[in-house]
Structure 1
């Protein structure tokens, strides 16, 4: 292997390679960027997206597989299942900070190889657990926690790509990078039911007649993780300019806007990942009934629709970055929160139209149904509730898609704001064209990349809190629990939108240096 060495002149230079480290990187130099930098940046972005995409898929593998555990022979309660899908989000949020710092320590290419190889841990453990009927719930919780390793990939990938692109393109580049990763949520929720034999694709592919085999999905993603390691080794680069010590990176925690943006990111990305994790179970518990796997289910099959929210939110993310590049990230972020308020109010109204299901059969009754499924018929109250709720499902789904769209827009715009804030700091106290300005911009770029990890870590905690909010009251009164949760989400989005407006748009803000970022 060779290293990329770019001669620090005023024009673009030819490159030589030793060790795949780029010694000089000047994306703000227009001539260098157009002749040399852009192709390298695009190549690194492409393979970064691939590795990050797999990380998201592994991170959210439990969001949809949990709904199939009963068919695999595991009798877990709804509370246990919601907690199971929440655990990876908590771990994924906590490890984002060390993953971000690892880019400056080891290099973006090197850390992509390491982090992709670590995806073998949750996938292979998952494959073992679901094929062993004796696996206890606590073991499932531990294995689900290792899936959080995939959540860390996002932070390191975003921190790395942030170094490759000039300020004028950061919103779009980071939006594309994040969207490619976020799509991993939608892809796993779409393909896993098909891979494991649990459902077809809208009649185009039939469900397996041989039952559910969750381990198949784990083996597929373990193989793809190996591919990601090889791709990073062959096609990605490290940047010398991105290397920094941990202490200087952590200085970003003293910047108050790190915490303001973290709070806003809980509202955007935390909502995206939290709703993505909870949506399969929300659909199953409110619109579907199947007491035992041996009896055909009635209502809305979550497997056909659970992936749509993550798909919409992922595709909207680069649009949010694009709009932020042109009109300002703060304006787009405030508009996104306004849309989320309207969306959650719409969900509350729709939930008010649904009919509560009667209590589920007792354990003894379920055993009797499984022993003689041919004699089972759904009680009239259950059938009527399913029919009534199914008629409202298109409204529920449509409003939820609007919420996901707004989360994607907000995700893209907030990540445009982060480098803009630190660039403001760099330009405020230095004169244009001076060496001090150049050094300040380099340091600001390093700090913004560190901030990306911290903000991403705090924001991802929302992915843990949202499923938990649907947790304990489900057994007694699911609809009341869900409506209460969405009322709380609505109030939180109002606060988020107000904070974004007061700090980054209000002209009388005491911190006017950041108005309009």
Structure 2
């Protein structure tokens, strides 16, 4: 089989290209390779990965803003029912993240990006039909909302794929950008949907789903034309099972529940909380998007700070800020102060965004340290990179369940106690616990991970 030689600024590098845009030779840790052709190829794949993941996140969180207007479309839902509609896509997305990670080595990163983008047509079309037919009842509506979880699975495959394209020294920034581009889809959908559904007067909730059908097709087309498959990207079953045997995989899963799980859960619940707790659907429709927006923008900042001072230290700081935000939110609800409530949630979103970037940076660093401890041979380091990619899928899947639990916890507190204060007290204690876990496991002076600057 013939191979193609890709010209570069400093000579020619043989990427051992094969049909189907497969790259057989990839050495990002080699400075000469990276300067010659690696950086340019990685950047191109990152750009179109971000676009596809952005559309996936937008579809994932479509229901978070649509539920605010369902009553106006003929649906009569309680606060708990509305929160369940926002929680189900998060739960399904969490479940899909692990198989989506395995899809990368089976089909190729580029090929799976094409397929997963096209799958987004299902929840978009389902939403467009369901919101216009309140006679179908609540259970079918829940099942259709659950299909939006297809958008949540995209994250795991995208991050696992992109992690192979970049050298260790640039992973934090690259993964932060990739994740932020996806995360900001939450803010975009919460900003655009309220505008689009009232264009021309009246209310047309079906447009919320229909507007993303051509965008999903465009994401698939761009991935097909411009992305690559890496033969090295083998996050297969063996490395994943090996990753599961590491205590750190489970500790990082817990930390990711607190960072990303909080981000996606608060993003899903925030518009409904503004409406149900303070009776302000106008603010929910007009300003709730700011929370997901600032959280998304802060994610690459968390990665960049982690590259400089260590992800564990940044994560400790993010949990401290989350605890302060949860306390302020609790005070605001008890004293019925909307301004403090909104500001407290903005602080929570900033902290979760930074924590998302820092925890993801910790994962690759932890497995690199483990490889060095096992001798640091090229074969060992490659095996550890593959375990890290598999661990990313496990951690992102477990962590994303926080996005399911947050709205459910609010729904439980509201239906049982008539208010969300018990849920906020739980989150306050949970964030303090995670701060202690991070300190003991990765920052405590003298520990192996602290000495390595994880």
TM-score (norm 2): 0.95
Query: Counterpart in 2 of 1:378?
Result: none
Using a 3 Å threshold, how does the CA distance of structure 1 residues 24 and 14 change in structure 2: closer, same or farther? closer
Residues 1:456 and 2:396 are matched in the alignment: yes
Using a 3 Å threshold, how does the CA distance of structure 1 residues 515 and 138 change in structure 2: closer, same or farther? same
Contact preservation (8 Å) 1:424, 1:513: no
How far, CA to CA, are the matches of 1:473 and 1:319 in structure 2?
Answer: 34
Using a 3 Å threshold, how does the CA distance of structure 1 residues 15 and 439 change in structure 2: closer, same or farther? closer
Residues 1:329 and 2:311 are matched in the alignment: yes
Match of 1:446 among 355, 364, 386: 386
Using a 3 Å threshold, how does the CA distance of structure 1 residues 475 and 414 change in structure 2: closer, same or farther? closer
Contact preservation (8 Å) 1:6, 1:23: no
Match of 1:315 among 284, 289, 297: 297
Match of 1:401 among 337, 346, 357: 346
Structure 1, residues 151-193: CA drift from partner, whole Å, max 9, x if none?
0000000000000000000000000000000001000000001
How far, CA to CA, are the matches of 1:54 and 1:213 in structure 2?
Answer: 21
Match of 1:424 among 366, 369, 374: 369
How far, CA to CA, are the matches of 1:267 and 1:166 in structure 2?
Answer: 27
Cα displacement (A) at 1:3: 6.9
Query: Counterpart in 2 of 1:166?
Result: 167
How far, CA to CA, are the matches of 1:23 and 1:472 in structure 2?
Answer: 51
The correspondence of residues 333-352 of structure 1 with structure 2, limited to 5 A, is 333-352=315-334
Structure 1, residues 137-160: CA drift from partner, whole Å, max 9, x if none?
100111111110100000000000
Query: Counterpart in 2 of 1:121?
Result: 122
- What SS is found at the alignment partner of 1:304? helix
The correspondence of residues 34-49 of structure 1 with structure 2, limited to 5 A, is 34-49=35-50
Using a 3 Å threshold, how does the CA distance of structure 1 residues 489 and 476 change in structure 2: closer, same or farther? closer
The structure 1 segments of at least 4 consecutive aligned residues displaced by more than 6 Å after TM superposition are none
Cα displacement (A) at 1:250: 2.9
Higher helix share: 2
Structure 1, residues 15-61: CA drift from partner, whole Å, max 9, x if none?
57432001100000011101100010000000000010011011100
Contact preservation (8 Å) 1:56, 1:182: yes
Structure 1, residues 104-159: CA drift from partner, whole Å, max 9, x if none?
11110011011111101111111111122312110011111111010000000000
Cα displacement (A) at 1:484: 1.1
How far, CA to CA, are the matches of 1:271 and 1:181 in structure 2?
Answer: 16
How far, CA to CA, are the matches of 2:430 and 2:235 in structure 1?
Answer: 36
Match of 1:288 among 275, 279, 296: 279
In our comparison, the structure showing a higher alpha carbon Rg is 1
Cα displacement (A) at 1:418: 0.4
Structure 1, residues 440-467: CA drift from partner, whole Å, max 9, x if none?
1211111111111110000011101110
The correspondence of residues 66-105 of structure 1 with structure 2, limited to 5 A, is 66-105=67-106
Query: Counterpart in 2 of 1:250?
Result: 241
Q: Which runs of 5 or more residues in structure 2 are unaligned?
A: none
Match of 2:433 among 486, 495, 498: 495
How far, CA to CA, are the matches of 1:3 and 1:83 in structure 2?
Answer: 52
Query: Counterpart in 2 of 1:389?
Result: none
Q: Which runs of 5 or more residues in structure 1 are unaligned?
A: 198-206, 290-298, 355-391, 432-436
Cα displacement (A) at 1:227: 0.6
RMSD (Å) for aligned C-alpha atoms: 2.0
Contact preservation (8 Å) 1:56, 1:184: yes
Residues 1:465 and 2:441 are matched in the alignment: no
How far, CA to CA, are the matches of 1:317 and 1:70 in structure 2?
Answer: 34
How far, CA to CA, are the matches of 2:107 and 2:135 in structure 1?
Answer: 41
How far, CA to CA, are the matches of 2:314 and 2:46 in structure 1?
Answer: 24
How far, CA to CA, are the matches of 1:15 and 1:246 in structure 2?
Answer: 26
Contact preservation (8 Å) 2:367, 2:384: yes
Residues 1:215 and 2:209 are matched in the alignment: no
